Amino acid sequence: MLAMGSEEWELYPSSYIGSQVIEYRPVSEDSDDDQNGDVAVSLDAVLPDDLLEKVLSFLPVASIIRSGSVCKRWHEIVHAQRHAWSKMVPQKPWYFMFTCSEDAVSGFAYDPSLRKWYGFDFPCIEKSNWSTSSSAGLVCLMDSENRRRILVCNPITKDWKRLLDAPGGKTADYSALAFSVDRSSHHYTVAVARSNQVPSEYYQWEFTIHLYESVSGSWVTPFTGVLLGWRGGDECVICDGILYYLVYSTGVLVNNNEHRHCLVMYDLTARPNHTSLMSMAIPVPCALTCGRLMNLSGKLVLVGGIGKQDRPGIIKGIGIWELHNKEWCEVARMPHKFFQGFGEFDDVFASCGADDLIYIQSYGSPALLTFEINHKSWKWSVKSPVSKRFPLQLFTGFSFEPRLDIAL
């Protein structure tokens, strides 16, 4: 069953979002054409299914699914997983925003193409603190209370499945999730990176990578090692066959002049059993309060909170960098007026994206800012229908590509 066929996809009134309403006047029954004896014929009545699919494929996803309510024929075309949907006009990623609570997760999805919010019940996610990673229309989720429990879903079709339990224990000191889908074959890879402190050794942290391939339907553990003076975190991403993982200094064996974050890499194709990750580590471009990694059209992008020079743990702005040949190239810095627009901005924040669009959200506010990397343009989203009801209420979210053609 398609998600947008349900009641929660009711659009907010145009007066709420400030969009223009266009009224179409019906053709008069006694028009000149009727007087001349011409008979009106519905266009879709003469179009074969493949041509009608082609016409619909040029619409945004939200419009395609709403068109399934026109008639029985259109409903069957929209809901059938046909080849035409793989040739759709590229869709900008949506952003699913929800509030952090112990209740069932429900929130709103933002469509940047139509600049509209939709009421949205995300399939299979149960808690707001679950780890998420998305790629090419699918979203991978990891249970925060049982790190072995991994699920994959298509948020638009609400199709989902639970994978075989991941290796290792149900808990870890730090866990990170990365997900990558092949756009042509729709095969996918799940990476779970775990970091646990070695007992009685504060500066030693065990680091393990577990991989799941949809082709084989099984897990492997290609790498286990120990990090000295560095620990893992919750941030990793797969980009061009490489797993990038952000690690954090424990304050031991690190010079005072060095930054407290570093990027390590692991080749998912070669899968070396023994390699020194830190010997190939890439320092972050400046002192960061936090960092968010994302794959934008095959390019590794870092969105980070820039720390003050004298107090690196206090955020003073946000920067965006792209990795080229193991060197960071600055793409943009958030203008101060947008930084101030969030109100009180936390040192740690949410940021994600796909294609050329980046989303940035403060955990303490439902305000959502977008950045188009190709045009270097910043823009606020339409006001979110999520409201702040008490001072300490927190918000979070993640992005995903709306796709009809990706099945599990």
Strand order in the sheet with 377-380: 349-354, 357-362, 368-372, 377-380
pLDDT in tens, 81-94: 656 677 777 789 99
Q: What's the distance, CA 22 to chain centroid? A: 33
CA angle (215 as vertex; 149, 177 as ends), nearest 5: 35
Name the CATH architecture for the domain at 46-86. Answer: Up-down Bundle (1.20)
Backbone angle region of 343, left / alpha / beta, with phi > 0 → left and psi within -120 to 50 → alpha: left
Distances (CA, A) of 83 to 19, 58, 79, 121, 126: 33, 14, 12, 27, 32
Higher pLDDT, 4 or 150: 150
Say if residue 6's pLDDT is above 60.
no
Domain residue spans of the chain: 46-86
Here the tokens at position 92 are: 């900008």
pLDDT in tens, 262-294: 999 999 998 887 778 888 899 999 889 999 999
Q: Which residue has the tokens 């471009």?
A: 285
State residue 19's pLDDT score.
36
Rounded to the nearest 5°, which phi and psi values hold at 86?
-75, -15
Q: Name every residue whose Cβ is closer than 8 Å to that of residue 377 and which is 6 or more positions away in sequence.
A: 371
State residue 105's pLDDT score.
66
**pLDDT category of residue 10 using cuts at 50, 70 and 90:** very low
Here the tokens at position 62 are: 């939200």
Higher pLDDT, 59 or 2: 59
For the chain, the average pLDDT equals: 82
Say if residue 129's pLDDT is above 60.
yes
**pLDDT category of residue 103 using cuts at 50, 70 and 90:** low
Here the tokens at position 129 are: 């603190």
Here the tokens at position 296 are: 């934008």
Number of other CB atoms surrounding residue 156 within 10 Å = 26
State residue 38's pLDDT score.
57
User: Is residue 45 within a helix (H) or strand (E), and if so which, with residue range?
Assistant: helix 43-46
